């Protein structure tokens, strides 16, 4: 029982990070139908930039804020330099562009920073909190709380604000969106900026637990993608739940089977979803009629 | 209100509008009739800015539209209900209407929405349903209502009668006619030439990218060439 709870705590912690990556996917997917495989690099950049700004002497909150802003700007640049010029290309080409971009970002990070693993201090110390015989790190609570906060924020954004609806409208029908006065170019800029910021935020939260290096983004993009698929691509609720579930699956697999199998869980989830329920848990069946 | 001169447009290397002249005055209902593939939709897309113009000028309410991007044209007072309706299928009927008034946040938005529901009561019944689930006729109503939410001075309508049952066609044309009382000028593009000319003040006949005839709507209906080619009489 204690062991189960312990596995679930660690599962929820990594799951919250996957959820944040998946939420980042959700925004760009909602605006453009593109799955942005550079999303994992945003997490990495959030961690790396915070590390180096902190070591350069900035207080941690400022370093984190700087990292989020810079990463957000990189997200906007990715859209302007790579996605926008290829507008009109098939979605698959755009997805391949994001994979290319992620390779470029990794390479550049290696050059600008280094190839080492880094961390900075946890926000609220490293003394484990005891709950029902299991323990959880204070930083884990930050990660889980952060994922929940981002989820609620996005949910409000997409369901309650006109700007959020404009993002959905742009994804649904770009030309019609322009006809009602929506600047669809700006919607894309907003989407990339916002999802890069969310990715960087995840990196800031999780680095004290998992450490950060230039190449941590690849696995995160894959896991986040699996989480988004599981929950239903494009749905914030699905992204949150898919992330948490995937994290728990992994932790339980590692705990009860072997940590060797852990990495396979994401693949199995992707394949399982594709075969059994391509819409995911919350994906809406598209109802189109001509 | 709207003056078009020498308008040319192309898809790739193939030119489909070969220098069009057209004029719409304030308060008019003007129709452009023409067969399949004449270029009617292309004309409206040029006007709304969603299709590039290769030559010629579009002047709307005294302003050249040459450098006004599509998303800024509604603010200038020009709305379009596009071919194929192009509603936001994943969003609800009400969200579609609210987005029609994307440019506005004042209290008039609620009043306009109530107006739209009065105009098309079926939309009120289905306000919380995904627009993609509406029937063709209901989607057409939604497309028109959404365009009106943008408070246009001039509304471009692309084949609102397409694919609809006769009773619905009559209802839609009645609504178009009633736009006059709302001070909305209308440019209506139709293959259903008879229905369109009956409610219009003036008409243009378009053939393969050119205007071949123009005149008062009653004269066009009476013209033997039109009766034969477009009205099947
Ligand atoms: N996206 C496109 N790419 C290439 N050619 C096109 C495109 N859209 C239309 N065309 C061509 O341009 C010409 C004019 O088409 P357009 O759609 O403007 O005609 P239309 O009068 O609206 O016809 P309909 O009554 O069938 O709607 C046609 O020959 C058509 O084949
Ligand atoms: Mg057409």
Q: Where are the domains of chain A?
A: 23-153+181-214, 216-282
Judge contact between A52 and A211, C-beta under 8 A.
no
Residue B171 lies in a domain: yes
User: Token pair of A145, please?
Assistant: 């709380």
Please work out whether the CB of residue B209 comes within 6 Å of at least one atom of ligand 1: no
Torsion of CA B64, B69, B73, B74, to 10 degrees: -170
Structural domain that includes position B14? 2-86+151-229
Beta bridge partners of A129: A136
Residue B114 lies in a domain: no
Q: Over its length of 290 residues, how does chain A's per-residue pLDDT go in tens digits? A: 688 999 999 999 999 999 999 999 989 988 888 889 999 999 999 999 999 999 999 999 999 999 999 999 999 999 999 998 988 888 889 999 999 999 999 999 999 999 999 999 999 999 999 988 899 999 999 999 999 999 999 999 989 999 999 999 998 999 999 999 999 999 999 999 999 999 999 999 999 999 999 999 999 999 999 999 999 888 889 999 999 999 999 999 998 988 888 888 888 888 888 888 888 888 754 433 33
Residue B59 lies in a domain: yes
How far does A11 lie from chain B, in Å, by closest CA?
Answer: 34
Contact A173 B87 (CB under 8 A): yes
Contact A176 B136 (CB under 8 A): no
| pLDDT digits 0-9 by tens, B176-216 | 999 999 999 999 999 899 999 999 999 999 999 999 999 99
Instruction: Note the helical H segments in A135-216.
Output: 138-160, 162-172, 174-179, 184-210
- CATH number, residue B219: 3.40.50.300
- Which chain A residues have a beta carbon less than 8 Å from that of B48? 179
Residue B12 lies in a domain: yes
Cβ count within 10 A of residue A81: 11
| pLDDT digits 0-9 by tens, B75-94 | 999 999 999 999 999 999 99
Among B17, B18, B42, the mutation site with the greatest number of ligand 1 atoms within 8 A of its Cβ is B42
pLDDT for the residue numbered A287: 35
Roughly how many angstroms between the first and final C-alpha of chain A, as a whole number? 55
Judge contact between B3 and B185, C-beta under 8 A.
no
Pairing of strands B63-64, B55-60: antiparallel
Please work out whether the CB of residue B36 comes within 6 Å of at least one atom of ligand 1: yes
- Which chain A residues have a beta carbon less than 8 Å from that of B50? 175, 178-179
Beta bridge partners of B79: B155
Give residue ranges of A with CB < 8 Å to any B CB. Answer: 162, 165-166, 168-169, 171-173, 175-184, 284, 286-290
Contact B91 A165 (CB under 8 A): yes
How far does A75 lie from chain B, in Å, by closest CA?
Answer: 24
How far does B67 lie from chain A, in Å, by closest CA?
Answer: 15
pLDDT for the residue numbered B233: 61
pLDDT for the residue numbered B163: 84
* Ligand (nearest to CA of B205): 1
Among B7, B9, B15, B40, the mutation site with the greatest number of ligand 1 atoms within 8 A of its Cβ is B40
- Which chain A residues have a beta carbon less than 8 Å from that of B95? 165
Please work out whether the CB of residue B50 comes within 6 Å of at least one atom of ligand 1: no
Helix (H, G, I), strand (E, B) or coil at B202: strand
- Which chain B residues have a beta carbon less than 8 Å from that of A179? 48, 50, 70, 74, 79-80, 82, 86, 147
Residue B115 lies in a domain: no
| Interatomic CA distance for residues A250 and A270, integer angstroms | 13
How far does B232 lie from chain A, in Å, by closest CA?
Answer: 27
Nearest CA, atom 28, ligand 1: B37
Alpha-carbon distances of A191 from A105, A182, B5, B81, rounded to whole Å? 19, 14, 39, 27
pLDDT for the residue numbered A284: 59
Q: A145-158 burial, b for 16+ CB within 10 Å, e for fewer?
A: ebbeebbeebbebb
Among B8, B39, B80, B205, the mutation site with the greatest number of ligand 1 atoms within 8 A of its Cβ is B39
Nearest CA, atom 5, ligand 1: B11
User: Token pair of A95, please?
Assistant: 């997805």
User: Token pair of A188, please?
Assistant: 């894309």
Please work out whether the CB of residue B40 comes within 6 Å of at least one atom of ligand 1: yes
Nearest CA, atom 7, ligand 1: B11
Residue B10 lies in a domain: yes
pLDDT for the residue numbered A1: 64
| Interatomic CA distance for residues A61 and A69, integer angstroms | 12
| Interatomic CA distance for residues A124 and B203, integer angstroms | 75
Report the predicted TM-score, pTM, of the whole model to 2 decimal places: 0.88
Cβ count within 10 A of residue B107: 8
Instruction: Find which of B47, B70, B82, B99 to mutate to test the A interface (most A CBs within 10 Å of its CB).
Output: B99
How many structural domains is chain B composed of? 1
Residue B96 lies in a domain: no
What number does the ligand 1 atom closest to the CA of B159 have?
27
How far does A163 lie from chain B, in Å, by closest CA?
Answer: 9
Residue B22 lies in a domain: yes
User: Token pair of B201, please?
Assistant: 């003040």
What number does the ligand 1 atom closest to the CA of B191 have?
25
pLDDT for the residue numbered A265: 87
């Amino acid at each position: 029982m204690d062991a189960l709870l312990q596995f679930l705590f660690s599962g929820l912690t990594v799951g919250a990070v996957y959820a944040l990556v998946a939420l980042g996917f959700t925004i760009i997917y909602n605006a453009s139908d593109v799955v942005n495989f550079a999303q994992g690099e945003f997490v990495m950049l959030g961690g790396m930039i915070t590390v180096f700004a902190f070591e350069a002497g900035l207080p941690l909150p400022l370093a984190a804020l700087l990292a989020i802003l810079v990463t957000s700007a990189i997200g906007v640049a990715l859209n302007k330099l790579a996605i926008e010029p290829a507008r009109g290309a098939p979605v698959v080409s755009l997805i391949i562009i994001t994979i290319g971009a992620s390779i470029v970002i990794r390479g550049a990070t290696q050059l600008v920073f280094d190839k080492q693993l880094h961390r900075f201090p946890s926000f609220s110390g490293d003394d484990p909190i005891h709950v029902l015989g299991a323990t959880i790190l204070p930083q884990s609570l930050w990660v889980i709380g952060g994922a929940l906060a981002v989820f609620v924020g996005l949910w409000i954004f997409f369901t309650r604000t006109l700007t959020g609806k404009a993002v959905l409208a742009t994804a649904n029908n770009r030309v019609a969106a322009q006809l009602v006065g929506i600047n669809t170019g700006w919607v894309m800029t907003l989407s990339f900026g916002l999802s890069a910021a969310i990715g960087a935020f995840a990196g800031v939260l999780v680095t004290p637990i998992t450490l950060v290096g230039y190449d941590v983004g690849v696995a995160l993009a894959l896991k986040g993608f699996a989480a988004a698929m599981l929950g239903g691509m494009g749905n914030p609720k699905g992204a949150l739940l898919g992330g948490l579930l995937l994290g728990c699956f992994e932790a339980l697999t590692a705990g009860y089977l072997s940590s060797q199998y852990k990495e396979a869980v994401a693949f199995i989830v992707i394949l399982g979803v594709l075969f059994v329920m391509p819409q995911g848990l919350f994906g809406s069946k598209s109802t189109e009629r001509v | 209100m709207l003056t078009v001169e020498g308008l040319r447009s192309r898809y790739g290397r193939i030119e489909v509008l070969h220098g069009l002249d057209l004029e719409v005055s304030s308060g008019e209902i003007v129709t452009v009739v023409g067969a399949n593939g004449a270029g009617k939709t292309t004309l409206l897309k040029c006007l709304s800015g969603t299709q590039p113009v290769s030559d010629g000028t579009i002047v709307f309410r005294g302003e050249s539209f040459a450098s006004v991007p599509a998303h800024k044209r509604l603010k200038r007072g020009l709305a379009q209900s596009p071919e194929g309706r192009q509603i936001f299928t994943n969003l609800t009927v009400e969200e579609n209407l609210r987005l029609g008034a994307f440019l506005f946040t004042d209290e008039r938005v609620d009043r306009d929405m109530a107006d739209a529901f009065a105009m098309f009561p079926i939309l009120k019944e289905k306000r919380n349903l995904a627009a993609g689930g509406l029937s063709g006729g209901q989607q057409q109503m939604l497309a028109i209502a959404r365009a009106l939410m943008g408070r246009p001075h001039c509304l471009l309508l692309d084949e609102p009668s397409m694919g609809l049952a006769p009773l619905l066609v009559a209802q839609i044309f009645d609504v178009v006619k009633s736009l006059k009382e709302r001070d909305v000028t209308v440019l209506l593009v139709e293959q259903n030439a008879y229905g369109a000319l009956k409610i219009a003040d003036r008409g243009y006949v378009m053939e393969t990218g050119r205007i071949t005839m123009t005149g008062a709507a009653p004269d066009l209906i009476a013209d033997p060439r039109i009766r034969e080619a477009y009205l099947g009489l």
